[in-house]
Chain A
Amino acid sequence: MKNGHVIDKYIREEMFPNIWCPGCGNGVVLGGLIRAIDSLNWDREKIVMVSGIGCSSRITGYVDFCTMNTTHGRALPFATGIKMANPDLKVIVVMGDGDCSAIGGNHFIHACRRNIDITAIIINNMIYGMTGGQYSPLTPTGNFGSTAPYGNIDQTFDLSKLATAAGASYVARSTVLQARQSISLFKKALSKKGFSVVEMISACPVSYGKMNKKKSPIELFKWIQETTVSKMRWEKLSEQEKEGKMIIGEFADENRVEYTERYQQIMEKAQEVGRP
């Protein structure tokens, strides 16, 4: 690892080697996230990282912050409680695609709506990896999963569009192939006052790749490269060419009043009235 020293500063060494399979994208996200955090010079004691359940959620075990590996889909409400109780804390949430968009879908919408100052990173490998490759709400239609042996008939969520529509202040999408771009997107998301979302298209060669004729990590990476396009390129594509492709880049970057700030105003208002 070229910048090994940066990573070493933040990891819990006794937790390594990690549980992730060869070719998994989770490590790229972890590495990028650590580099982004390091560049912000935050008070390390004030950083809290929260996750749900799944391969991606093991990320909180590997970093030496105040960390929390919560229940499936519930990372955001746990994080909301932490941030409300102590708005000085920098709260980062890492989720998987099933975690965030299926069991945690309602929590995700409402965290966006509240616009609370939390950064949510979603590692979207388009499958339930840890449980053996069942299809998720982000598995492309027609793809295969262990519970979709004849092909997935569900429509997929566009998570970034969903987050934008639900009111998140910052929304971006990148892939684990764009390591440098993702670091800069993480930095923007972490610095944003309000709810920020970065969706990371990732690779699960073992569960997703195997069932979808992309067995080797390289085949899977190539497929990700081919199916993702920048916003600029997207505009130039014909409707036919757009079919099955995903846009990479920023979808929302707005400045709205953040939730704990709004609550601060409520406390001031209530205190003016006074306790009888």
Chain B
Amino acid sequence: MNKKSNKKNTKLLQGNEACAEGAILAGARFFAGYPITPSSEIAETMAHELPKLGGKFLQMEDEIASMAAVIGASLAGHKSLTATSGPGMCLKQENLGFAIINEIPCVVVNAQRGGPSTGLPTKPSQGDMMQARWGTHGDHPIIALAPSTVNEIFTLTIKAFNYSEKYRIPVILLLDEVIAHMREKVEIPDINDVEIINRKKPTVSSKEYLPFKPDEDGVPPMANFGEGYPYHVTGLVHSEKGLPISDAKEIDHFLRRLNNKIQDNLEDILLYEEYFLDDVEIVLVAYGSVARAAERSVKIAREKGIKVGLLKLLTVWPFPEAKISQLAKEVELMIVPEMNLGQMVLEVERCAHGKCRVIPYNRVDGELINPMEILVKIQEEKN
């Protein structure tokens, strides 16, 4: 890969390659995975590049084992990545929950295909949006990012690692088959120009160290295994010391703290872009490859004098509730185009609190939503 780079260090990369490049730049030195379309190129690129950097690549016996190995490696000090698609994402849910309850940083890529089950392995979809939020059992926090271009895959992969390290949480990167496989220009920055965040280390002695006692920001400093801080990690609800607990008050405190470390930092975590939202009657709310089409349809509609804008979500979980609520008060209509039968539109409806109309536009035939059909929808709804 990367053979044709010019002086500016602009590369023509496939989406999956850009993800691997971003991960390496962010400091990822461990990958464990299992072959699956349409994400396999991430594993292939990591298999090629990691050994050169002293990093470790493992092809495990299944997706469950891949997720487990990634968590183990992160606990042993490596920034770790795994990548999969729908069927594999289902299998990863068990240990994804383990990473969440133990606050172990890692990044999980889901290059979405159509589903359910084997579904449409080579066609794009946005059918796993709710799975990204609620796939693993129990009340839990999650961060999920959804890039819409190859360049955004690169930058958001770095962001994903930063969030995972900063908040000690698995971050899901939601691609789809189209942006995973398309080739586009990526500006590779100098590493010194990129913000790289690493997990906080304990500043106290091993005797004083409480592995799950948060600092003021709600996040506990993390000692890696082998660094002289012996402690226990368990999937059971645990105390600040990491040992299983049964006291109701302590349990409540733990689970609320786990969720609040994300809820209390929304300003930092919620990423979105606004197009033509200053003077607007109709807003498109879109993410992933559909946001590309939405952006184009906004441009065409504006040329026709229709006051349309776009809110492009980059962070999809947690959901930008306050932003949607505020916009709903200012506009007449929100249209939510998605390559599913209407998943994020439910969140938009919830957050709009009935202040404006919310209309879904859906496709589940394995084809991309194109700008013209969104435009037709805009015109239909306007009249």
Interface residues of A (CB under 8 A from B): 12, 14-15, 44-46, 48, 50, 53, 60-61, 64-71, 74, 76-86, 88-89, 106-107, 109-110, 263, 266-267, 269-271, 273-276
1/0 contact trace for B278-305 toward A, CB 8 Å? 0000000000000000000000000000
Bound form: Cα–Cα A14–B65 in Å = 32
The 4 closest A-B CB pairs, nearest first, are A81-B72, A81-B69, A270-B51, A77-B65
Contact of B56 among A45, A263, A275, A276 (CB under 8 A): A263
| Chain A residues in 8 Å Cβ range of B346 | none
Bound form: Cα–Cα A46–B76 in Å = 11
Bound form: Cα–Cα A70–B61 in Å = 18
Bound form: Cα–Cα A120–B52 in Å = 31
A61-B243, A67-B232, A107-B61 in contact; A85/B73 too (CB < 8 A)? yes
Contact B71 A85 (CB under 8 A): no
- Min Cβ gap A242→B in Å is 33
Contact A82 B72 (CB under 8 A): yes
| Chain A residues in 8 Å Cβ range of B228 | 45
Contact A89 B52 (CB under 8 A): no
Contact B49 A71 (CB under 8 A): no
1/0 contact trace for B201-245 toward A, CB 8 Å? 000000000000000000000000111111111111000000110
Contact B65 A107 (CB under 8 A): yes
| Chain A residues in 8 Å Cβ range of B226 | 45-46, 48, 66, 86, 88-89
| Chain B residues in 8 Å Cβ range of A67 | 230-233
The reply to whether the CB of B64 lies closer than 8 angstroms to some CB of chain A is yes
| Chain A residues in 8 Å Cβ range of B74 | 81, 85
Chain B residue at minimum C-beta to C-beta distance from A60: B232
1/0 contact trace for B231-263 toward A, CB 8 Å? 111111000000110000000000000000000
1/0 contact trace for B54-71 toward A, CB 8 Å? 101010111011101111
A sample of 6 inter-chain contacts (CB < 8 A) reads: A61-B232, A67-B231, A67-B233, A89-B226, A109-B61, A267-B54
Chain B residue at minimum C-beta to C-beta distance from A57: B234
Interface residues of B (CB under 8 A from A): 2-3, 30, 32, 48-49, 51-54, 56, 58, 60-62, 64-66, 68-78, 80, 94-95, 98, 225-236, 243-244
Contact B72 A80 (CB under 8 A): yes
Contact B65 A65 (CB under 8 A): no
A79-B72, A85-B78, A271-B51 in contact; A71/B95 too (CB < 8 A)? yes
Contact A71 B230 (CB under 8 A): no
Contact of A276 among B3, B30, B62, B98 (CB under 8 A): B3
| Chain B residues in 8 Å Cβ range of A82 | 72-73, 75-76, 225
| Chain A residues in 8 Å Cβ range of B58 | 80-81, 84
Contact of B94 among A71, A79, A267 (CB under 8 A): A71
- Min Cβ gap A31→B in Å is 19
- Min Cβ gap A231→B in Å is 31
| Chain A residues in 8 Å Cβ range of B227 | 45
Bound form: Cα–Cα A103–B103 in Å = 25
Contact of B30 among A12, A60, A81, A274 (CB under 8 A): A81
Contacts A74-B95, A85-B72, A85-B77 supplied; 5 other A-B pairs, CB < 8 Å: A68-B72, A71-B94, A74-B64, A84-B58, A85-B76
A69-B234, A71-B235 in contact; A84/B64 too (CB < 8 A)? no
Contact of B76 among A53, A89, A106, A107 (CB under 8 A): A89
Chain A residue at minimum C-beta to C-beta distance from B55: A267
| Chain B residues in 8 Å Cβ range of A276 | 2-3
Bound form: Cα–Cα A273–B51 in Å = 11
| Chain B residues in 8 Å Cβ range of A78 | 68-69, 71-72
| Chain A residues in 8 Å Cβ range of B68 | 70-71, 74, 77-78, 80-81
Chain A residue at minimum C-beta to C-beta distance from B102: A68
Contact A84 B61 (CB under 8 A): no
Contact A77 B60 (CB under 8 A): yes
Chain B residue at minimum C-beta to C-beta distance from A15: B243
Bound form: Cα–Cα A263–B233 in Å = 27
Contact of A45 among B51, B52, B230, B243 (CB under 8 A): B230
| Chain A residues in 8 Å Cβ range of B69 | 77-78, 80-81, 84
Contact A77 B72 (CB under 8 A): yes
Bound form: Cα–Cα A48–B75 in Å = 11
Contact B49 A275 (CB under 8 A): yes
Contact B64 A89 (CB under 8 A): no
| Chain A residues in 8 Å Cβ range of B30 | 81, 84-85
- Min Cβ gap A176→B in Å is 24
